[in-house]
Amino acid sequence: HRDLHSFPTRRSSDLVALLSVAVAVSAVGSHPSFAKFAVEKRVVLEGDITPPQAPSSWKRVGPATKALVKVIVAVTQKNKDVLKEAVDQVSDPSHERYGKHLSMQEVTDLVAPEAEDVALVQKWLRAYGAVKVEVRGNGDFVHASVPVLMAQRMLGCQFHAYRHVTSKKLIVKTTMLYSVPASVAEVVDFIAGPMHFPTENAGPIRIDSLGYTDPNVTPDMLRERYNLTTMGSGTQSNNSMTVAEFQGQYYEPSDLVQFFQTYVANSTADNVTEVVGTNNPALPGIEAELDIQYIMGVAPNIPTWFWSNSGDDFWTDLTDWCSQISSTPDAPLVHSVSYGDQAAGISGSLQDRINTEFQKFGVRGMSIIFASGDSGTGCDLCIHYEPSFPATSPYVTSVGATHFLDGGVGPEGAVDEFSSGGGFSWHFDQPSYQAAAVASYMANAPELPDPIMWNKNGRGTPDVSALGWGFEVIVGGGTSNVGGTSAAAPTFSAVIALLNEERLLSGGAPLGFLNPWIYNASAVPGAFYDVTVGSNPDGCCGKGFQCAVGWDPITGVGTPNYAELVDRKSVV
Which of the residues are catalytic?
287, 291, 486
Computed from CA positions of residues 514, 335, 427, 487, in that sequence, does the dihedral angle turn out positive or negative? positive
Contact 127, 29 (CB under 8 A): yes
CB count in 10 Å sphere of residue 131: 11
E strand spans, 444-488: 458-461, 464-467, 469-475, 478-483
Of the candidates 83, 145, 146, 84, the residue with the CA atom closest to the CA atom of residue 109: 83
Of the candidates 54, 99, 105, 204, the residue with the CA atom closest to the CA atom of residue 508: 99
Of the candidates 247, 536, 491, the residue with the CA atom closest to the CA atom of residue 374: 536
Q: Which helix (H) or strand (E) holds 42?
A: strand 42-44
Q: Which helix (H) or strand (E) holds 124?
A: helix 115-127
Of the candidates 477, 554, 479, 566, the residue with the CA atom closest to the CA atom of residue 299: 566
Cα-based angle 272, 292, 495 (whole degrees, multiple of 5): 100
Q: Write the single-letter amino acid at 368.
A: I
Computed from CA positions of residues 118, 119, 122, 128, in that sequence, does the dihedral angle turn out positive or negative? negative
Q: Which helix (H) or strand (E) holds 310?
A: none
CB count in 10 Å sphere of residue 102: 19
**What three-state secondary structure class fits 287?**
helix
Cα-based angle 301, 520, 376 (whole degrees, multiple of 5): 75
- In the beta sheet, which residues pair with residue 76? none
**What three-state secondary structure class fits 301?**
coil
Contact 208, 480 (CB under 8 A): yes
User: With b meaning 16 or more CB within 10 Å and e meaning fewer, what string describes 361-380?
Assistant: bbbbbbbbbbbbbbbbbbbb
DSSP secondary structure code for residue 450 in this structure: P
DSSP secondary structure code for residue 306 in this structure: E
Contact 259, 219 (CB under 8 A): no
Contact 531, 559 (CB under 8 A): yes
Q: Write the single-letter amino acid at 119.
A: A
- Tell me how long the chain is: 572
Of the candidates 298, 397, 294, 285, the residue with the CA atom closest to the CA atom of residue 340: 397
Of the candidates 572, 537, 571, the residue with the CA atom closest to the CA atom of residue 554: 537
- In the beta sheet, which residues pair with residue 368? 335
| Cis peptide upstream of residue 215 (ω within 30 degrees of 0) | no
**What three-state secondary structure class fits 293?**
helix
**What three-state secondary structure class fits 77?**
coil
